[in-house]
Amino acid sequence: MKFIAKVIFIFIFLSIPVLLFSQNKNNYDRFKEALTTKSAQFNTENYFLKARTFFIAQEWDSTLVYAMKQLSTDNQNRQLKNYCHFFRGYSFTEKEIFIEAKKEFALISNDFVFYYNMKMILGNIALEERKFTKAIAYFKEIETLQTRNLLGIKSGNIEENIGLSYFHLKQYDKAEIYLKKSVLLQEKENDTLELISSYGNIASLYYEQYKDNQAIPYFEKAYALAATTDDIFAKQNTARNMAVVEENRKNLAKAIQFRKEFEQWKDSVNDQSKIYAVAQIEKQIAVKEKQKKVVLLQAENKVKNAQRNTFLYSAIILLLLLVASIYFYREKVKSNRIINLQKENLDELNATKDKLFSIVSHDLRSSVQAIKTSNKELIETLETKNLTKVNSLLQNNSAIVNGAYNLLDNLLNWALLQTKQSYFEITKLRLLLIVEHVSYNYKAMLADKEISFENKVGKSDIVFADQESFKIILRNLIDNAIKFSNPNSTLKIYTEHKDETFCLLIIEDEGIGMDEITCEELLKDTGLLSKKKNENSIGTGLGLQLCKSMVKKNNGTFSIESELGKGTKMIISLPKNLPNGKR
């Protein structure tokens, strides 16, 4: 009996979400309305308006960026800063970066209108960190507040969280009081899903104390209530609990019935997951195909424009040469030299263009053929329900699609840069935040090769550059550093300040490195296309060429320091001030 009771308790408790706001749409709408109304005084602040819009849309990364931009402005209004720190703390909480969330909340003053909402979040963080005594202290600060002061927080959630904290501390008498309070409040509010969760909590509390007669009615209530909802997970969990209850009662017929029902809902969840996963893959492939068509069309237009311009310039040059040949022999000789030089450059550009399309088409064709073959095998494997192999094939498809996406993304940005269609806005950037944001997306790749990542960029390091192009530069350099790093090595990003004008951002790996000749070739403007010495990896070199072009457009410089077998340093130098000297 004791073992089974423990199983049910863990199953029920861990399935309970601890939320700042109720699932009830009216309560959350009330919070959004209050947020918009009470912060209207700051509607003239452009960055704040963007941060608030992204916050309400639950786009956390953009919220973090624009809230930080607002904090970097000259407006030091205390309440405006409170809102920005609240947005950032909330966003970090949603991204489960609790240390940064607590740092942001610590900067909020106690006269902030959403001060108690912040306390609720801190209590939830303490619960997640299993600091139950600390969580109780936070929740009790807001327990006695009037509902109108809670701005989207439900009283039932507060009582439930206090009860769960006491439950973990094994103070069962206190846990029972608060959990019963939460049930009464949620029954008044008629919140079905929360009631299912609360009934399960009380049942688990009694089962933990071997009070089966008190626990079972609550398991039955949860099961009956789940049957009235469309929530598959609630149906699955409550059916499983009832199966265990009937097994304990030695009623094997009912236990088997509930166990079959549990398996039925479990299969439904699995089927939905499979269908969703396949749909996502198909959607990604369709998007990549459309992007490929767009890039190819742009490339074709660029070629046509280049040909038309070449014919026009040639006609003008020939006309000038014809006129000049009548009057000045020296001018004719000089013009011939210019023509020869232009012809050499044009031939080199055409050769580069031909090689680019040859290698890009080869890589894309290889990627598409690989994913077609893998998808065929995936369909065959799905019929056998070999989930291990399905997972392996999906991982393989993801790697192929990501590689093709990176190639297309670089090609698109390179084409935009070459045709001068890219939009540049030089602004003040805090390097640490940008590096953290970009490197976060490479955690999986770093973990896969067991590479240790160190971000040693200073908190006060600031440069002036275009944010989007700077992110593209970072993504390409970090991707290359990971690709050519040895397993179990270290990847570092740090800054150096050799003068007051420029800041050096250095991406250093402990990979295979390069010799001096290779470094010089890569730094040449003509080094657009190359085959890597490793024949298993064919590439255009387009990413590095894109980085060099974008660094140059951001008024910076790019250099490489490397030694064969000892790693590589990619060095970006960016200005600390605007061209006119303003900071």
The Cα 209–Cα 216 span in angstroms is: 13
Is the pLDDT at 4 greater than 50? The verdict is no
Q: State how far the Cα of 509 lies from the Cα of 544, in Å rounded to an integer.
A: 16
Predicted confidence (pLDDT) per residue in 535-550, tens digit: 344 355 677 888 888 8
Average pLDDT over residues 558-568: 90
Lowest-pLDDT choice from 114-128, 135-149, 267-281, 560-574: 267-281
Cα 164–Cα 166–Cα 169 angle in degrees, nearest 5 = 115
Q: What integer best gives the mean pLDDT of the chain?
A: 79
- Tell me the β-bridge partners of 557: 573
Element (H, E) at 413: helix 387-418
363 or 217, which is more confident:
217
Higher pLDDT, 372 or 529: 372
Pick 134 or 142 by higher pLDDT: 134
Asked if the model's pLDDT at residue 395 lies above 90, the reply is: no
- The amino acid present at 413, given as its one-letter code, is N
**pLDDT tens by residue, 266-276:** 776 665 555 55
**Beta carbons within 8 Å of 430's beta carbon, 6+ residues apart:** 68, 72, 459, 461, 462
- Is the CB of residue 88 less than 8 Å from the CB of residue 64? yes
Please check whether residue 572 is in contact with residue 505, taking contact to mean a CB–CB distance below 8 angstroms: yes
- Asked whether the predicted pLDDT for residue 258 surpasses 80, the reply is yes
For the chain, give the number of residues. Answer: 583
pLDDT (mean) for 36-46: 89
Q: What is the mean pLDDT of residues 261-283?
A: 64
Pairing of strands 490-496, 452-456: parallel
Spatial CB neighbours of 148, under 8 Å, sequence gap ≥ 6: none
Sort 40 into a burial class: Cβ within 10 Å, 0-12 / 13-18 / 19+.
exposed
Running DSSP on this structure, what letter comes out for residue 485?
A: B
| pLDDT value, residue 273 | 54
Distance CA 244, CA 462 (A): 60
What does the pLDDT read at residue 12?
42
What is the structure's pLDDT at 270? Answer: 61
pLDDT at 356: 56
pLDDT for 13: 40
pLDDT bin (cut points 50, 70, 90) of residue 334 is: confident
Token pair, residue 33, equals 């309305």
Q: How confident is the model at residue 456 (pLDDT cuts 50, 70, 90)?
A: very high
d(CA 393, CA 410): 26
Output the pLDDT for position 240: 85
Of 309 and 355, the one with more pLDDT = 309
**Backbone torsion region of residue 515, taken as left when φ is above 0, otherwise alpha when ψ lies between -120 and 50, otherwise beta:** beta
Q: Is 520 within 8 Å of 513 (Cβ atoms)?
A: no
| Helix, strand, coil share (%) of the chain residues, nearest 5 | 70, 10, 25
CA atoms within 13 A on the CB side of 384: 10
pTM of the model: 0.44
Does 530 have pLDDT greater than 60?
no
**Residues ≥6 apart with Cβ < 8 Å to 530:** 521, 522, 539, 541
Strand-pairing partners, residue 464, are 428
**Choice among 183-192, 343-352, 545-554 with the minimum mean pLDDT:** 343-352
- The more confident residue out of 250 and 395 is 250
Q: Return the pLDDT at 346.
A: 73
How far apart are the C-alpha atoms of 258 and 24, rounded to whole Å? 30
Burial class (CB in 10 A: 0-12, 13-18, 19+), 521: middle
Amino acid at 474: L
Instruction: Calculate Rg over the CA atoms of the chain.
Output: 31
| Element (DSSP H or E) covering residue 491 | strand 490-496
Q: Give domain 426-575's CATH number out of 3.40.190.290, 3.40.50.360, 3.30.565.10, 3.40.50.2300.
A: 3.30.565.10
Asked if 428 contacts 462 with a C-beta cutoff of 8 angstroms, the reply is yes
Q: Tell which wins on pLDDT, 323 or 422.
A: 323
Supply 251's token pair.
């009623």
> Where in the chain are the domains?
274-404+412-418, 426-575
Whether the pLDDT of residue 182 is over 80: the answer is: yes
- Mean pLDDT, range 33-46, rounded to an integer: 88
Q: How confident is the model at residue 3 (pLDDT cuts 50, 70, 90)?
A: very low
